[in-house]
Amino acid sequence: MSWDALFSLQGHSPYILGAYGVTLALMGAEALVLWRRARARRQAARRQAGEGRP
């Protein structure tokens, strides 16, 4: 598939690009959630060990 065919507004191209966009958005959201969860666990472990900030 050529770039012209992929980015044309005819046929299935908008659906293909939309599917890629949604997939990338979901991957980004999952990475953000996992990063925040890991960060919260590290902070909780520090607080439990008595090293946390007040």
Give, as one character, the DSSP assignment of residue 52: S
Spatial separation of the C-alpha atoms in residues 27 and 24, rounded to whole Å: 5
- Residues 1-54 have pLDDT tens digits of 677 877 777 888 888 889 999 999 999 999 999 999 999 999 999 888 886 555
Spatial separation of the C-alpha atoms in residues 14 and 28, rounded to whole Å: 21
The pLDDT score that the predictor gives to residue 37 is 97
Q: What is the pTM of this model?
A: 0.67
